[in-house]
A = this chain, B = another copy of it.
Amino acid sequence: MNHVTIAIILGLLAVVYGFVTSRQVLGAPAGTEKMQEIAAAIQEGAQAYLKRQYTTIAVVGVIVAVIVGLFLGGISATGFVVGAVLSGVAGFIGMNISVRSNVRTAAAAQKGLQEGLTLAFRAGAITGMLVAGLALLAISVFYWYLTSVMGKTVGGEDRTVVDALVALAFGASLISIFARLGGGIFTKAADVGADLVGKVEAGIPEDDPRNPAVIADNVGDNVGDCAGMAADLFETYVVTVGATMVLTALLLKGAGDMLGSLMVLPLLIGGACILTSIVGTYFVRLGGGTNIMGAMYKGFLVTAVLSIPAIWFMMQLALGDMNAVIGGMVMNVDPGAPLAEEGMASQVGGFTGWALFWCAMLGLVITGLIIWITEYYTGTNYRPVKSIAKASETGHGTNVIQGLAISLESTALPTLVIVAGIVIAYQLAGLIGIAYAATAMLALAGMVVALDAYGPVTDNAGGIAEMAGLDDAVREKTDALDAVGNTTKAVTKGYAIGSAGLAALVLFAAYTTDLAEFFPNLDVDFSLENPYVIVGLLLGALLPYLFGAMGMTAVGRAAGDVVKDVRDQFAADPGIMAGTSRPNYARTVDLVTKAAIKEMIAPSLLPVLAPVVVYFVITLVAGPQNGFAALGALLLGVIVGGLFVALSMTSGGGAWDNAKKYIEDGNHGGKGSEAHKAAVTGDTVGDPYKDTAGPAVNPMIKITNIVALLLLAALAA
């Protein structure tokens, strides 16, 4: 059997898992009529948002597809469309499951904690497996079609496959940045707006059905943490695995027959881990206790441990002899070659299948470490969150100061892990080693997304329990489930940005290799001694700052609109506050939808336009070799700057959120105390940090890199 067929079958398996599990989940009882009514409002709102968002994206997508088609041909345009559509599909289905599981989770939580956990986690697992499965299918079917049906080859002069894979990644990335940013602005505008006008002004509790923004808030959980996150991880998967294949094609050109196997190997690793992820989902069980996080970890650990032999098996299958040297035999080291090729040569000095295996293991270890570090910084049991909770005793100001200090500090350990990963992988197998570490990280995406997508389901379940006036005991259970969701959501973001750190190196290598191939006579100096490289680094590092500023301001503006709308509704109909008339939920949803869509456009264009502008301006001033140097440096600047912005925002935001939860658990005076008020401020500040600006940095980094690759191809055409 052709190896790519195995990858396709395993990808289909994930889809089948999603189908079967969704039948199970949707077959569960959906609670009382009141609960179903509320859930229906959330579903309606979610549908309305998705419809408008996808319409907008479709318009942009068609324009971009035409541009890609004009510059790079029909196959690349097709790749772009496939990436874009499947990314949308993963988010769309995941979200539809999510808004139907929320009410069923609330119903299940009436029976017990385990029942609630099982239902919510299954719902998350559907999204997880769909993301991993569809991403794997997108690449492997497309690759299979290009090579087996169209007969295209890699390694020769024909760049069809490489360009098509890059275009596929571009499609996925473009959807992803819109979904992440649009969803992030929606969810936080609704959340912050609802809190401001409900909790603060009207003095009604969170999730009170009298608040017209309450449905928008619940819709937001889904469009942000489910649809947005799914698109993001789909993109990260496609870009990382795709970039590994592109780099293989570019660097190991001369590997002959072996090249075909090497191209498919990342797909096989992805397939193997889908299998282990599916197995892992069945191990998420409380086992008598109430340690929900522990149950999650059990599932993750089973997946990770099983992945070791599974990856080994796939490598054995693809490479045959694990001891055979792969890189060394293929390189033609030409001492007179320009710098880019020289670097290339030294990086492919020869490595064995075993070296690649250890790099993949390294990817698993990095994933585990990043999860552990994120839990340390955002979990309620450790110093960081406790220190923020303690600082809340002395007021709003000290809560925010300590939160900012923790958010700055939280970048250190992940950076050290990523740096160690780069050094070890490079020592083992050069740039390809780094690519394999990143691929193995992303291979676990199915499981990681499952942990994350579980969050909005339980969050909504709590909201529905509150609004439907269920027993306090139910709300307690959904709250317990939800608290874990805060950490798992932070984990996914740390994981995504951490893998971006590695993937960006791979993309940069693809850029320099492409550059050397397209413009062999251009002597581009990527040395730090070239001031245009510094210029590129500075401009690249600026992008996440500017992007973050735009995202945060957008949330503030949209939240202001929500406040105004709710005030108007309260004023127009006093029956709403009295509880006698039903607020117009749909109007608020519609308003947030419009605002989010409008606000997402400008920041999304930043990473698309910046590479083009920087290249042309510097080329104008200092010639194309410096234009390319500055552009290359921009790609690394955006990751060097973006890594810290994203890590600090996502961890800091998670820590603030859980510091509030920690106080609500009865510490430092508990709910209603002055410390709690300060912690609510911190939580509000953390919201756009962790759910809007921070996570959107990851797709932003990728887009910048991919646009640069496409620009190269377009300039060469």
Stretch binding the partner chain, chosen from A150-158, A533-541, A705-713: A533-541
- CA separation between A415 and B391, bound complex, in Å? 34
Which of chain B's residues have a CB closer than 8 A to the CB of A422? 531, 534-535
Interface of A, secondary structure class, is helix
| Interface residue A328 (Cβ < 8 Å from any Cβ of B) | no
Which of chain B's residues have a CB closer than 8 A to the CB of A534? 422, 505, 636
- Closest chain-B Cβ to A362's Cβ sits at a distance in Å of 14
| Interface residue A46 (Cβ < 8 Å from any Cβ of B) | no
Stretch binding the partner chain, chosen from A177-185, A310-318, A553-561, A573-581: A553-561
A640 CB contact (under 8 Å) in B426, B434, B618, B641: B641
Q: Is the CB of B530 within 8 A of A343?
A: yes
Which of chain B's residues have a CB closer than 8 A to the CB of A85? none
Stretch binding the partner chain, chosen from A112-120, A208-216, A544-552: A544-552
In this complex, what residue of B is CB-closest to A415? B542
| Interface residue A396 (Cβ < 8 Å from any Cβ of B) | yes
Q: Is the CB of A394 within 8 A of B563?
A: yes
Q: Is the CB of B552 within 8 A of A408?
A: yes
Q: Is the CB of A528 within 8 A of B535?
A: no
A556 CB contact (under 8 Å) in B405, B415, B509, B548: B405
Known: A404-B552, A529-B343. A542 touches B685 (CB 8 A): no
| Interface residue A266 (Cβ < 8 Å from any Cβ of B) | no
| Interface residue A525 (Cβ < 8 Å from any Cβ of B) | yes
A340 CB contact (under 8 Å) in B418, B529, B537, B632: B529
Q: Is the CB of B434 within 8 A of A548?
A: no
| Interface residue A196 (Cβ < 8 Å from any Cβ of B) | yes
Q: Is the CB of A640 within 8 A of B340?
A: no
- Closest chain-B Cβ to A657's Cβ sits at a distance in Å of 13
- Closest chain-B Cβ to A461's Cβ sits at a distance in Å of 25
Which of chain B's residues have a CB closer than 8 A to the CB of A555? 401
| Interface residue A31 (Cβ < 8 Å from any Cβ of B) | no
Known: A415-B542, A528-B533, A535-B422. A549 touches B621 (CB 8 A): no
Measured as residues with beta carbon below 8 angstroms from the partner, the interface class of chain A is: 35 or more
Q: Is the CB of A549 within 8 A of B408?
A: yes
- Closest chain-B Cβ to A660's Cβ sits at a distance in Å of 11
Which chain A residues numbered 404 to 447 have a C-beta less than 8 Å away from chain B?
Answer: 404-406, 408-409, 411-412, 415-416, 418-419, 422-423, 426-427, 431, 434
| Interface residue A7 (Cβ < 8 Å from any Cβ of B) | no
Which of chain B's residues have a CB closer than 8 A to the CB of A391? 556
| Interface residue A508 (Cβ < 8 Å from any Cβ of B) | yes
Known: A401-B552, A401-B685. A644 touches B406 (CB 8 A): no
A549 CB contact (under 8 Å) in B409, B533, B546, B685: B409
In this complex, what residue of B is CB-closest to A195? B397
| Interface residue A355 (Cβ < 8 Å from any Cβ of B) | no
In this complex, what residue of B is CB-closest to A532? B423
In this complex, what residue of B is CB-closest to A554? B405
Q: Of A533, A621, A684, which is in contact with the most chain B CB atoms at under 10 Å from its CB? A: A684
Q: Is the CB of B508 within 8 A of A528?
A: yes
| Interface residue A648 (Cβ < 8 Å from any Cβ of B) | yes
Which of chain B's residues have a CB closer than 8 A to the CB of A401? 192, 552, 555-556, 684-685, 688
Q: Is the CB of A528 within 8 A of B423?
A: no
- CA separation between A643 and B681, bound complex, in Å? 28
| Interface residue A137 (Cβ < 8 Å from any Cβ of B) | no
In this complex, what residue of B is CB-closest to A560? B394
Q: Is the CB of A685 within 8 A of B400?
A: yes
In this complex, what residue of B is CB-closest to A633? B528
In this complex, what residue of B is CB-closest to A531? B426
Which of chain B's residues have a CB closer than 8 A to the CB of A552? 401-402, 404-405, 408
- Closest chain-B Cβ to A310's Cβ sits at a distance in Å of 28
Q: Is the CB of B641 within 8 A of A541?
A: yes
Given contacts A405-B553, A412-B549, A501-B538, 5 further A-B contacts (CB under 8 A): A397-B680, A400-B681, A412-B545, A419-B535, A431-B531
Sorted nearest first, the 7 A-B pairs with minimum C-beta distance are A397-B684, A409-B549, A405-B552, A408-B549, A343-B529, A396-B681, A526-B528
